[in-house]
Structure 1
């Protein structure tokens, strides 16, 4: 019997680098690239090369120019950032914004990732922020909440929403997982009801409708009612995110904890919740990003946040034509904060091995 020689697979062909599969696709790609270059050049020419930056010429120089009028930002930036806050006290509003940024950065550092340290950072930071904005202590003049506005108010609403809403979300999540049906079903009804309503309706209810149903001593300022409504909306969504993360934890781990005799607090605090937060990290970061952008909705109920401040910046007779530049500047501010949050979320995903490396 003749023995045939073993056959080996043919050598694979050399990998060819192609930018397109067919000539038609190459033409389409080049056309799209040309359009992108054209749009980028037009935008750069409008925003930089043909733009007016100084305030020497005033609105007349902007109207005569072919590019953007950044002079409105130079002339009206205080209104955009500080709103109606008294002019002589705006340094307090700027320092309060810096305080929020500092406590956020400290919270992102692993050194402060313990319960006591993170609580200390937020308690001290929130107290310092409120003391600077409100005044009435250390010789600072008192400024009412009706004068708060601009970027400082936007940051205050965002931080308060997350600071109140996240612990509330944990409570709602644990209550919905209760083995008592009347607790879990009631909590589920509350969560589903809040999630089924648009945020604007909740803010309007807390700002306008709720005072009619509460006694005078319990109404409080409109700003704090809006914060509570925003925190409730945040907590309903975040509770479901955390619950989804808990469902991703293998059931055998909780059963093993029960077999070891661990208490409910130990099972939740040391086994289930850390793994659930790890599983829910991408969705949690996304929820923080959404909450920051949704702070602009408080303009509907009459709060003077950064978007309303921007409207006031170009609302005068001499700058009404420069609304595009004002909105572009506000969009840039939102982009800086939101992009920073998303990049930090990507860092946490790499650190905890969640998502693509």
Structure 2
């Protein structure tokens, strides 16, 4: 006869006991916790006092800012157009703003599961990017042409980021598949290309494509400096992302591809329906990380003469009227980057939980 075992229910610790066990388990831990909490509260209060209590708001409050003890947010309300639109003509800045909204909508729609398809997602990004470019460039429906030399601010940052992702992701897939080729000369050549580019700093690649490349290419092939930099950045992105994808492919059980071959599936069907979907799932955390890094590193283009959001921020506080409010402008630019990067990071964490990635 089976012995009856009484059913026991696990007792969850209270929040107070968990807090005590985690931060006040010993006198030393308690002292460290109190000191760190005191310093953190002091820093938060000092930041709140500077940014809110003694800050100056409103447009054109230069004299009040000079006499104030806190932040001068008046520079942001007076010069925000420079930060967001750069050198774009004032009367046409609505086009730049609308283009940014279109690109933001594309990024938001990419988060919807309905678009997670090999056809829908590329079509969404290509259509959104084409709309973005046409709005920025003009030349149709009576819109005057605005050349790339007059682009700047947040719109230029989004343009570079979107172009790099659209060019770099297909290249990364091709590079990863070529490196796994069964022909040794193809695999080794691709490995040499990837490792060479990954060993170079991004800034050196940008300088090469922006300045050196016109000296070695025929005039009809050089193109605009902006597009050369985008191609170089996309190549850099593709090499890093190719290794991420290759790692996701190597994590797959070998039997899956062998079973697909036994069923008579061709190479492209095996890659498109079995290998790549699971590889992207396995490589989701580093892929999100690579996209976040790509967005942040668009600020490097300011070193080679582009008027991106960082350069626009410096220009906004570079006049004699507002040259004392540099910190406030940089805080505003940092907030723009924070909104985009934090949103991407949180969405990546949501996808990891949804797909149950990284818990095995």
- TM-score surpassing 0.5? yes
Match of 2:39 among 35, 40, 49: 35
Q: 1:229 Cα shift?
A: 0.7
Q: Deviations over 1:74-133 (max 9, x none)?
A: 110000000000000000000000010011111111112223322332222112111110
**Aligned twin of 1:337:** 340
Say whether 1:232 aligns with 2:230.
no
| 1:200 aligned counterpart, secondary structure | helix
1:356 positional shift: 4.7
Number of residue pairs the alignment of both structures matches = 345
Q: Which residue of 2 aligns with 1:154?
A: 157
Structure 2 SS opposite 1:321: coil
Residue 30 of structure 2 aligns with which residue? 26
Per the alignment, residue 48 of structure 2 pairs with 44
CA contact (8 A) 2:99 2:135 kept: yes
Measure the CA separation in 2 of the matches of 1:116 and 1:253.
24
Equivalent of residue 217 in structure 1, options 214, 217, 220: 220
Aligned to 1:262: 265
Give a deviation string over 1:214-262, Cα, whole Å, max 9, x none.
1111111111001001100000000000000000001111111111111
State the match for 2:275 in structure 1. 272
The answer to whether the 8 A contact 2:126-2:166 is kept is no
Instruction: Output aligned runs, 1:57-136, within 5 Å.
Output: 58-136=61-139
Unaligned residue ranges in structure 1 (runs of 5+): 1-13
State how far apart, in whole Å, the 1-side matches of 2:82 and 2:294 are: 23
Q: Give the structure-1-normalised TM-score.
A: 0.94
For the residues of structure 2 that align with 1:258 and 1:183, how far apart are their CA atoms? 22
Query: TM-score, structure 2 length as denominator?
Result: 0.93
Residue 350 (1) aligns with residue 353 (2): yes
Partner SS, residue 320 of structure 1: coil
CA contact (8 A) 2:292 2:345 kept: yes
CA distance in 2, matches of 1:27, 1:301: 50
Gaps of 5+ in 2: 1-11
